[in-house]
Chain A
Amino acid sequence: MTPAKRDAPPGRPSKLTLFFVALAALSAAALWWQQGVDATLAAVRDAMVLLAMIAPVIAAALLIGGYVQAVLPREAVSRWLGSDSGAGGYLLAMIAGCFTPAGPFAAFPLVLALRRGGAPFDVCVVYLSAWSTLGVQRIVIWELPFLGHEFVALRVLASLPVPLLAGLLARYLLAHRI
């Protein structure tokens, strides 16, 4: 497992946190200047309401991510994935991609292991495309609470063929040595 990456020493906010603080301050100031204090307060209040709604989901989903990382047998998964490069391999890669935790710490080391184990480029493309467009953890933590289930259902439906299409395109490019 990749060691945990710290982006700041404990007790000190990271650069990314400071970026969001600055972005919030700047946009609130601009809104105040353009539309007045009432609009700004309404925006902050709406943000806090949204926060109160999504905070429990995010906390629970982070715990899910922790369990998946702790329970997932990574070596076994990369052995399964590398063993079949036909249609079954595509399907397996797609399912594995959907259930890999959202952060890049889990997915890319797995692809590296796959490549070293001889998995073809197109299978890796299927896996990474499924992970990025259909990853269950990201959908649950971020997309459902922020964008609602109707949008998510539409996006998932529209993205279902994407990993397979990307894989087939990769296979075509490989076969024609482009």
Chain B
Amino acid sequence: MKNLVIPVSFVVVMLVALAAYAHFRKPDAHRAALVEAGRQLRALALRIPFALIAAECIGRLLPTENVSALLGADAGFSGVLFASAVGAFLPGGPMVAFPLAIALFRAGATNAPLVALMTAWSMMAVNRMLMFEVPLLGARFAFGRVVVSAPMPIIAGLLAAQISAWLIIS
């Protein structure tokens, strides 16, 4: 199970700092923040439990041999490449991507391909591009951004592999 000390302390410090700033500089921000957080919480409250159940079940269903062959330690560069492609076309928001990442971890995927997958998913985000980027900024802008972003998941994945290797050696 993941250690929650760092996320919890980070969240508490940030929340206290922002609330204090808002209290002295912009008192009406309290209400706006509560309303916005409540609106998002209502949307997530039902989704997260079911997303987690799906992730746990899918993680146990995934064939471990196939996942480790495609995204495991021995997959090397082709694992990073494959993960980048999967991430780039992965639809949906964090509710899909993070439970999937857990499931892949459980089934034997290693760090470098998962870094590539998360980087590709976060930079490309097909739904977000079609719903926000193209309508607001135009197809030319979106296309240009996709072109310059395409190598980035591979670079991040290879860097992650290199950093992991250094950390193990030292």
Contacts and interface: CB of A to CB of B under 8 A. Distances in A.
A and B associate: yes
Interface of A: 4, 7, 10, 13-14, 16-17, 20-21, 23-24, 26-28, 30-31, 34-35, 39-40, 43-44, 46-51, 53-71, 102, 104, 108-109, 111-112, 115, 121, 124-125, 128-129, 132-133, 138, 140-149, 151, 154-155, 157-159, 161-162, 165-166, 169-170, 173
B169 interface: no
A60 B114 CA distance: 27
Contacts of A56: 8
A140 B46 CA distance: 20
Interface of B: 1-4, 6-8, 10-12, 14-15, 18-19, 21-22, 25-26, 28-29, 32-37, 39-44, 46-61, 94-95, 98-99, 101-102, 105, 111, 114-115, 118-119, 122-123, 125, 128, 131-133, 136-137, 141, 144-145, 147-149, 151-152, 155-157, 159-160, 163-164
B92 to A, nearest CB: 8
B33 A44 contact: no
Contact of B56 (A16, A43, A69, A70): A43
B132 A151 contact: no
27 contacts: A17-B47, A23-B51, A27-B57, A27-B61, A28-B57, A44-B56, A47-B49, A47-B52, A47-B55, A51-B52, A53-B1, A62-B41, A64-B14, A71-B26, A104-B131, A109-B136, A111-B137, A125-B148, A133-B122, A138-B122, A140-B7, A148-B3, A149-B2, A154-B115, A169-B148, A173-B144, A173-B148
Contacts of B132: 104, 108
A146 B102 contact: yes
